[in-house]
Amino acid sequence: MFSSRKHYIFTLIFRKNKGKNRGSGWFGHFCLIALLGLGGLGGAPALGAANLSPQEEAALFSLADLGPVDLSPKTVTVEVFVSPNSELDACRRMLPLAWERVQQFYARMGVNLVYAEGRPEPGALARTQRLRVELLPHKEWLNRSFKAFNVEPPFRLRFLQVCRDKCAFAHLPLSIIHISFKRFEETELKDSPGKTGQNRDWLANLLVHELGHLMGLYHTDEFTNDKIPEVLPDKTPNFMSQRIAFKSRLGFVERQKLMVHSYLSQGKVYRQYEQVDFDPLRYLEKVRVHNGFRERAPQKTKTAPDAKGRSQPRTFDDDDEDDED
């Protein structure tokens, strides 16, 4: 069972998640990550948070100055496991060209992604060096999500309500991304049957986005005044936007590139996460407080049909309004 702390956090997260709009940022993707308490698992051992003075903490979490950033090319190995289950047949056909697009995107950022065939059980993963993507049958995705979030059986129905219409979770403390390909097909591809090229592009976008979380980035719509736009001046969607499911090309801004390199070279952004034991919720709260960032006001949004009466494509990790049990 949960410790009292975990139970409290679990209840708090669900309460805060209720009523959030689809642009509510971290809760659309890491709404349960605080349950883990696994700062040292799945990567390099956590060194433990230092006891900082208020002034030291404010200086550490300030994003106004990232300090010297090593922009030399970085190499990150990504272990990719695709379940042999027949539910993943279409995924296996799409993946080679989708992965090529993922590599091309990160090459533009100065990050060389090396593909490694994944076995059913993870290899020796390490933050900033070796990450893992698991494309799974839906039932297995749920089971692994329950385990990663440490969701005990009494809480699983509530978990299912919170994560309905989601198809992926990136677990920063574990260096692992879990993807339900069936859910991805249901939510993203239902309006484009047979359009292999477009579907492949959407799968590439999903992988690009989720890997961004494992490199220390948060959603573009998390804050209203952090100068990271959802859409670039040339109308290209930002790769950390939650609204990228129907686009074939993604972009980034220089600050995101600096943050990725700072994280991968274990610079200031890495030290920020280290200070909070790689808990994304605590990280965002520290960043919000020490940079004067404002959270986006909750809004109720509904998916409207297009001119042909079809539902608009969903985002990869939207928040849906969460009804009471």
Return the closest-CA partner of residue 91 out of 179, 27, 30, 31.
179
Asked whether the predicted pLDDT for residue 79 surpasses 50, the reply is yes
Residue type (1 letter), 133: V
Give percent of the chain with pLDDT exceeding 90.
Answer: 62
If you average pLDDT over each of 4-18, 94-108, 190-204, 292-306, which comes out highest? 94-108
> pLDDT category, 299, cuts 50, 70, 90?
low
Cα distances (Å, whole numbers) of residue 169 to 146, 177, 212, 317: 11, 6, 12, 8
Residues 119 and 303: their CA atoms lie apart, in Å, by 38
Instruction: Say what the pTM is.
Output: 0.81
**pLDDT bracket for residue 40 (50, 70, 90):** very low
Helix, strand or coil for residue 53? coil
136 within 8 A of 181, measured Cβ to Cβ: yes
How much is the pLDDT for 4?
33
User: Above 80 in pLDDT, residue 297?
Assistant: no
pLDDT digits (tens, 9 = 90+) for 119-176: 999 999 999 999 999 999 999 999 999 999 889 999 999 888 888 778 999 999 999 9
Residue 7 pLDDT > 90 = no
Higher pLDDT, 243 or 325: 243
Domain boundaries along the sequence of the chain:
4-291
Question: Could you tell me what percentage of the chain is helix, strand and coil, using 3-state DSSP and rounding each to the nearest 5?
Answer: 40, 15, 45
The pLDDT tens digits of the residues spanning 199-215 come to: 789 999 999 999 999 99
Q: What per-residue confidence (pLDDT) applies to 161? A: 85
The owner of tokens 């410790």 is 3
Are 247 and 237 in contact, with CB atoms under 8 Å apart? yes
* pLDDT value at 82 more than 90: yes
